[in-house]
Amino acid sequence: MSRKFILASLAGIGLIGFGLSGCGDARGPLTTVPYVDLQRYLGTWYVVANIPYYLENGKVATADIYTKNDDGTMGNVFVFRRGDFSAPEESWDGYAWVIDGTGNAEWRVRFIWPFSATYLVIDLDPEYRWAVVGHPSRDYFWVLSRTRQLDPTIYSGILERAAAQGYDVSRVALVPQPVESPSR
């Protein structure tokens, strides 16, 4: 059995839990933003914080890159380095689709067929400088930013709003990102 097949199988098993967890949560459903302008959402989003889980453990300099596909879905490329910034950049190719009637704030994301995961945009900067993605189980959480670092005041506000939605923000960890050079 090939190593790729074993890794894909393990990832698929994990995504089953990712897709199904959160059923019957006593806290009620997460509240998504009213509307996401998909054209503005496209592009690179750096993962500045998350609730760590096994598929992302040990990864640094992570980002999601969203593109529009001809069939109406979105390409979703997850880029990362393993362990430190000097490691070679790797990527996983997936795709996402919007759930009708959600103002584009609820998606399904798939990296391995036939498994998909729920993607809820629960907080979004009006200028699309940062976004927060949650999952119904509240076991998965990502803070995304157009830059590799996020202002601490903005980050603190994001965590306060996440806590108000029932997230245990003590589980959220910053994702190591290289320091950006100031623009000249």
39: phi then psi, degrees, rounded to nearest 5: -60, -40
End-to-end CA distance of the chain: 52
Residue 21's alpha-carbon distances to 32, 94, 98, 117, in angstroms, are 18, 21, 20, 10
Could you tell me which CATH number the domain at 3-21+32-174 has? 2.40.128.20
pLDDT value at position 26? 67
Q: So what's the pLDDT on residue 182?
A: 63
Domains in the chain: boundaries: 3-21+32-174
Neighbours of 111 (CB within 10 A): 20
Task: Write down the pLDDT at residue 27.
Answer: 76
Give average pLDDT by consecutive 10-residue segment, the chain, 184 residues: 42 43 66 98 98 94 98 97 97 97 98 94 98 97 98 98 98 94 60
Q: In this structure, what token pair is assigned to residue 15?
A: 């995504």
Read off the pTM. Answer: 0.85
